[in-house]
Structure 1
Amino acid sequence: MRIAVLADIHGNISALEAVLDDVSSRGADLIVNLGDCVSGPLWPRETFERLERLGAPTVRGNHDRQVAAFDSTKTDASDRFAFLELSEAKRKVLGQLPFSLQFAPGVVGFHATPTYDDRYVLDDMVSGILVRAPIDKIVRRLGPSEAKLVLLGHSHRPDLVRLPGGTTVINPGSVGCPAYFDPTGQAHVSESGTPHARYALIDVADGKDPAVMFLALTYDHEAAARRAEINNRPDWAHALRTGFMPRATN
């Protein structure tokens, strides 16, 4: 069985279309979506409608939850933009997405962790940058699991870890947002280092470790960056062009 794993699209329909075209050319038995579908200053409505037509099994990300439950005192600019672009019915769909799913026998997925949609399993913050967490932390954060394969997103950082108990944990990276700054808690950045659209293809066979391909695709990221600029988000524009967050200058 071949599974195409998408995560963290963040309203970037240009990147999404590039990924779906690539999936079509390579073939997949199943496409799954790990959430954070539309939040961002790009094309929330168009992305929602494309995903609706796709009909892929999808779990709810923290930004899907925040767009659905808009709070003007807490919601950030990306969530606010998506909230205003989506109808009430579309926001309701986002809010009702399941927290986690079993996509296939032995294959489970959620956005971030088994119990929280806004924390990390595979990642730690070191000097303000996300890096791979120690294996004992990963095991503790994931908790007991009978799954052979765990799929998660949230950090936008592609990664693949096989745990001592035999479970393989995969983050496919972000389809549409190659870098971000999170000011909450311990402020940090996630940076992929390039503007590519990312996803993963996983070949699953009984009795074998999964074979995993991490794909990084070119697409018209400049058009996405210009869209971010039009919507007054130069930080997003820089991230979309470079895969890095802008650095403060004195």
Structure 2
Amino acid sequence: MLALLYDVHGNLPALDAVLADARAAGAERWLLGGDYALFGAWPAESLERLEALEAAVWIRGNGERWTNAPAEAPPPVRPAARWCAERLGAETVARLAALPEQAVLDRSTRCCHASPLSDVLGLLPEPAAGEQGLLDGVRERRLIAGHTHLPLRRTTAAGLELVNPGSVGMPFDGDPRAAYALIAPDGTVSHRRVAYDHRAAAAAIRDALGADGELFARRVEQARIDPAME
């Protein structure tokens, strides 16, 4: 059983809840899809949990890139990226930023963070204009991607199955429960949600980051992007 863990965002309670659920369901392998530490109150602790996993495939997200180079991040993100980098240390930050952007699993499945074209241009639950341009060059039958924090499973007109397991640490679909997915040995995908104390996780972000964390705490609380906070 393969567990798909994307967009943890330093939310240790959510990650612990997901790991317990996945192990109970029979997970023995792990696909780690990027954005491991940035924005949450427990960046180093979350990374420690992930590094303890055996049989794990790692790829890089935009969060790893921004933590390594905060000046490349949008202005509201820069203070959090610097704070996260200080807690991980320069060597770890550089190592995470050097992870591959994509990986191919069992010759039929490709994984990336947002899309094969970009680590910030993602795929949505419903087809959007320009989507095919993000998928050009994919020859596998299934593509696993995250970044939008919106679970999805659908097939394109060209026959490519798209899977987004949702976000472990910061869902954006209005459901604050941690999200991930499992792939059974026969290829069946199952999306799963796990309850945890998301309000306490949001409070921890405020305690750790102060005013610089309010945007991210609000996202954990509301499980959506708040346009008023952008």
Q: CA offsets, 1:167-210, max 9 Å, x none?
A: 211011100012xxxxxxxxxxxx310211000112353xxxx4
TM-score (norm: length of structure 1): 0.81
8 A contact 2:18–2:194 mirrored in 1: yes
The residue type equivalent to 1:214 in the other structure is H
The residue type equivalent to 1:236 in the other structure is F
TM-score (norm: length of structure 2): 0.88
Q: CA offsets, 1:97-125, max 9 Å, x none?
A: 111111222111010121211112x23xx
Any residues of structure 2 matched to 1:1-250 within 5 Å, and which? 2-55=1-54, 56-71=56-71, 76-120=78-122, 122-123=123-124, 132-134=126-128, 137-178=130-171, 191-205=172-186, 210-230=187-207, 231-232=209-210, 233-246=213-226, 248=228
Shift of 1:42: 1.2
In structure 2, distance between residues paired with 1:6 and 1:72:
25
8 A contact 1:9–1:38 mirrored in 2: yes
Shift of 1:72: 8.4
In structure 1, distance between residues paired with 2:227 and 2:158:
40
Structure 1: gaps (5+ residues): 124-130, 179-190
Shift of 1:214: 1.1
In structure 2, distance between residues paired with 1:219 and 1:107:
30
8 A contact 1:40–1:81 mirrored in 2: no
Shift of 1:239: 2.2
In structure 1, distance between residues paired with 2:137 and 2:227:
40
Identity among equivalent positions (%) equals: 31
Secondary structure at the aligned position of 2:71 is classed as coil
Question: 1:240 and 1:220, CA in 2 relative to 1: closer, same or farther beyond 3 A?
Answer: same
Structure 2: gaps (5+ residues): none
Question: 1:146 and 1:81, CA in 2 relative to 1: closer, same or farther beyond 3 A?
Answer: same
Q: CA offsets, 1:123-149, max 9 Å, x none?
A: 3xxxxxxx6233x73333201322121
Secondary structure at the aligned position of 1:92 is classed as helix
8 A contact 1:224–1:240 mirrored in 2: yes
Q: CA offsets, 1:203-222, max 9 Å, x none?
A: 353xxxx4221111101212
Question: 1:102 and 1:236, CA in 2 relative to 1: closer, same or farther beyond 3 A?
Answer: same
In structure 2, distance between residues paired with 1:80 and 1:28:
34
8 A contact 1:177–1:240 mirrored in 2: yes
Shift of 1:157: 0.7
Question: 1:194 and 1:77, CA in 2 relative to 1: closer, same or farther beyond 3 A?
Answer: farther
8 A contact 2:70–2:78 mirrored in 1: no
Richer in helix (by share) = 2
Secondary structure at the aligned position of 1:54 is classed as coil
Bigger shift: residues 141-150 or 56-65? 141-150
The residue type equivalent to 1:227 in the other structure is A
Provide the aligned length of Structure 1 versus Structure 2.
223
RMSD: 2.2
Secondary structure at the aligned position of 2:58 is classed as coil
8 A contact 1:195–1:239 mirrored in 2: no
8 A contact 1:32–1:103 mirrored in 2: no
